Amino acid sequence: MGGDHGPDVVVAACARALRADPALKILLVGQPEALERPLRRAGLHQDLRCTLLPATEVVGMDEEPAKALRGKKDSSMRVALDCVADGRAAAAVSAGNTGALMATARFVLKMIPGIDRPAIMAAVPAERGQTQVLDLGANAECSPEQLLHFGQMGCAACRVLTGKARPTVGLLNIGSESIKGNTVVKQAADLFAASSLNFHGFVEGNDIYAGTVDVVVCDGFSGNVVLKASEGLARMLMADLKGAFQRGIYPRLAALLAAPVLIGLKRHLDPGRYNGASLVGLRGVVVKSHGSADAAAFANAIRIAALESADNLPQRIAEDLQQG
Amino acid sequence: MGGDHGPDVVVAACARALRADPALKILLVGQPEALERPLRRAGLHQDLRCTLLPATEVVGMDEEPAKALRGKKDSSMRVALDCVADGRAAAAVSAGNTGALMATARFVLKMIPGIDRPAIMAAVPAERGQTQVLDLGANAECSPEQLLHFGQMGCAACRVLTGKARPTVGLLNIGSESIKGNTVVKQAADLFAASSLNFHGFVEGNDIYAGTVDVVVCDGFSGNVVLKASEGLARMLMADLKGAFQRGIYPRLAALLAAPVLIGLKRHLDPGRYNGASLVGLRGVVVKSHGSADAAAFANAIRIAALESADNLPQRIAEDLQQG
């Protein structure tokens, strides 16, 4: 029921995802009165692969996570996670309140042994392929051990999502000049070097988009500011480009001819293409869609959830953590 | 003598800066044998406003800061900073090794009372105007008090550089959902609120490019990864755009028509337009140019140095710190 656009977008995304993946089944959790019309509109009201599961409550986007967890036991978010816990569903996807989703998922699904809190992981486009980055904001302060866990979880997820047998992982740090980062990353580097991971060493901010490594590990503070700054920069540039093409006759003509190029660029930039952040470290698959995601973007989050559950990502992570 | 391109670019930048600012005088510090030919080429060899000051040594881009400080007392960097210390120059500009520049500047010029280490500040383009961001990497770990000092220094610099009487300042933090940042930013927010600064409150990564506030304060770790990630993203997008315009006949034709638009966009993106990071907190004006800066970009760093020294930025900062 969550997200900025409400159930319409979610239902349209379900229709797309079902068309794209013939093996997919969806349990749509929410208020029946709000979902019936969108289901009819999307032609899903009689689709046997899409079942409506009623939930009477909705967690607000600004609601306190602890309050939502304690007070709303029949929220769409809670019921969806309950389904994952009792095996009725293989994964949960939500565009709702991130904090509430994390807190509820942690309570309902429990953590993989050795992991204290989930981390948020998402792919960003890179010059060469894409880069998985974590943590993107769940853990503002991290210990060196947590960063190592992020590396292990990220590499396990990268194997599942991209099929790479031995993904490379880098630790985000600042320029090698003057001071090489803070105490935590220095200590974490020793842990990474001693682990069985394919550790590339320190990477810098530009390496995220260069695609230097498959997985970039950072604390949730840096990860979140980098992600949001990138969104802001991309938005500014697209606005610039659009503005520039509207000034004068030649640029307008050029814009007509260049339309496919610009649409292509916009698609590459589009957070939707990379929409779907995995909450890793839980004993179940949970994917968070961006609140502003459209149907295509939300469908991508569903696709990621299906991939992660098909390969049982939580199980892969637990095995990797045991191996060290 | 520093930077990736050596003295040729620096000398060409001096010629540009002298043309743009009739009141400017330049002391060009470096090895005479390396500078003579570029000076002749730029038509500066007989210009009375550009004086060559010999220095026999050069600090390497990868040299240990402490080693450069102790071992190379006749490096171009050291001699330039000595000139600021003894009043022969009003400011120093360097494209050399950042760590060595910071360490040497701190030793030669000393810090403003109350400030322990310099912070690196630079402007980034924003949807509305530009945003001054600091620290960009000098201080990987910061105390709440240091962040407050960054705010005071950034606002003083913003007044000098943009003429705004009461710049707004925001503290970089992560999404308001779940956990609102780490202990340091929470404590810093209290200090900012109690100060005489025009404090806007917390801002997020996207606010840097939105131009929500005039000055964004963050620790040097976050600042550095945001800056470098932005550079990487911008580079990827320009490469994307160039590639897209080269596929097919219509896009090629469009590219011809759109050339001015694309050049304009490139210019807006160009780190050169914003080149020149101020090392604030020192008792003298020091501006660091990007190692890869071209002549136009380096000339911008000279322009910033001239602005900061004309208004005696170190003095403004010292006054603001006393006021609290």
The number of C-alpha atoms within 13 Å of B163 and in the hemisphere containing its C-beta is 1
Distance CA B267, CA A103 (A): 45
Position B192 scores a pLDDT of 96
**Residue that wins the pLDDT comparison between A5 and B198:** B198
Q: pLDDT tens-digit profile of A284-308? A: 999 999 888 899 999 999 999 999 9
Q: pLDDT tens-digit profile of B61-95? A: 888 888 999 999 999 999 999 999 999 999 999 99
Position B177 scores a pLDDT of 44
Distance CA A229, CA A33 (A): 38
**Span B154-170, average pLDDT:** 94
- CB proximity B249 to A under 8 Å: no
Q: Residues of A with CB below 8 A from B208's CB?
A: 229, 232
- DSSP-derived letter for residue B114 is T
Position A176 scores a pLDDT of 53
CA distance A324 to chain B (A): 28
As annotated, the residues of chain B forming the CATH 3.40.718.10 domain(s) are 7-115+281-315, 119-228+267-271
Mean pLDDT of chain B: 89
Omega cis (within 30) before A116 = no
Where are any strands of DSSP class E within chain A? 26-30, 50-54, 91-94, 119-125, 130-134, 168-172, 198-203, 215-217, 277-280, 285-288
Pairing type for strands B119-125 and B130-134 reads antiparallel
Position A18 scores a pLDDT of 96
What was the ipTM of the complex prediction? 0.87
Q: How many CB atoms lie under 10 A from the CB of residue B54?
A: 14
Beta bridge partners of B28: B52
Instruction: With cut-offs at 50, 70 and 90, classify the pLDDT of residue A268.
Output: low
Distance CA B174, CA B197 (A): 22
CB contact under 8 A, A225 and B172: yes
How is B116-167 classified by DSSP, letter by letter? -S-EEEEEEE-SSSEEEEE-SSS-SS--HHHHHHHHHHHHHHHHHHH--SS-
**Superfamily of domain covering B119-228+267-271:** Isopropylmalate Dehydrogenase (3.40.718.10)
Omega cis (within 30) before B135 = yes
Instruction: With cut-offs at 50, 70 and 90, classify the pLDDT of residue A235.
Output: confident
Instruction: With cut-offs at 50, 70 and 90, classify the pLDDT of residue A178.
Output: very low
Q: In chain A, whose CA is at the least distance from the CA of B239? A: A127
pLDDT at A259 over 80: no
The SS3 assignment for B171 reads strand
Position A88 scores a pLDDT of 97
pLDDT at B178 over 50: no
Q: pLDDT tens-digit profile of B124-151? A: 989 888 999 999 999 989 999 999 999 9
Please give the model's pTM, rounded to 2 decimal places. Answer: 0.90
Q: Residues of A with CB below 8 A from B174's CB?
A: 137, 140, 220-221, 224-225, 228
Q: Tell me if B223 sits within 8 A of A213, measured CB to CB.
A: no
How is A30-79 classified by DSSP, letter by letter? E-HHHHHHHHHHTT-TT-TTEEEEE--B---TTS-HHHHHHH-TTBHHHH
Top-level CATH class of A7-118+281-311?
alpha beta
Residue in A224, A237, A256 nearest the CB of B175: A224
As annotated, the residues of chain A forming the CATH 3.40.718.10 domain(s) are 7-118+281-311, 119-279
Instruction: Fold for B7-115+281-315, please state it.
Output: Isopropylmalate Dehydrogenase (3.40.718)
pLDDT at A115 over 50: yes
**Span A230-242, average pLDDT:** 83
Instruction: Fold for A119-279, please state it.
Output: Isopropylmalate Dehydrogenase (3.40.718)
B182 Rama sector, left if φ>0, alpha if ψ -120 to 50, beta otherwise:
beta
Position A198 scores a pLDDT of 97
User: Which residue has tokens 């992981």?
Assistant: A121
Q: pLDDT tens-digit profile of B236-255? A: 887 877 777 777 777 677 76
When scoring B222, B242, B247 by the number of chain A Cβ atoms within 10 A, the one with the most, hence best to mutate, is: B222
Indicate the residue type of B50.
C
Indicate the residue type of A74.
D
- Tally: H helices and E strands in chain B: 12, 10
Position A237 scores a pLDDT of 81
Indicate the residue type of B300.
N
Beta bridge partners of A32: none
Among the ranges given (A24-38, A171-185, B54-68), the one the predictor scored with the smallest mean pLDDT: A171-185
pLDDT at A240 over 60: yes
pLDDT at B270 over 80: no
CB contact under 8 A, B174 and A232: no
Distance CA A206, CA A253 (A): 35
